[in-house]
Amino acid sequence: MKADQARKANTAAGRPVDECTYAEARRRKEIALASLRELELQLRMGELTSVDAVRERAFKIGRIVRDRMQSIPDRVAGIIAAEKDQDKIYEILTKEIHNALEALANGGLGRE
């Protein structure tokens, strides 16, 4: 609304439409600085985190999940090799996958 008024005032005064007044420019600057200070405060208080930190954490978690899932064959290969019943093999695999994911869900992100 104020921006529209500023454009009308600029047009009426013979200034280019996009040219804003000093007061409007200062107001916009103060709003931007206040927003920046608010973000900095939230970051210091731990309410925000950097995108890089989130990406790094997600990468580490992804790697742990991958490692846990890839270790399943090492744990069950011998058991499955001896098993002839397809339903039993399915049960063994399902249980191992469930256990690995459950450990992760319960904070088992050890090797960070």
Cα 5 to chain centroid, rounded: 40
Cα 77 to chain centroid, rounded: 36
Q: Return phi, psi of residue 4, to 5°.
A: -65, -40
Tell me, what's the pLDDT at 111?
Answer: 46
* H helix or E strand, kind and range, residue 58: helix 51-70
Are 48 and 54 spatial neighbours (Cβ–Cβ below 8 Å)? no
pLDDT digits (tens, 9 = 90+) for 27-57: 999 999 999 999 999 989 989 888 999 999 9
Q: Domain extents for the chain?
A: 2-44, 51-105
Other beta carbons within 10 angstroms of residue 97's beta carbon come to 14
pTM for the model stands at: 0.54
Residue 15: pLDDT above 70?
no
Are 59 and 84 spatial neighbours (Cβ–Cβ below 8 Å)? no
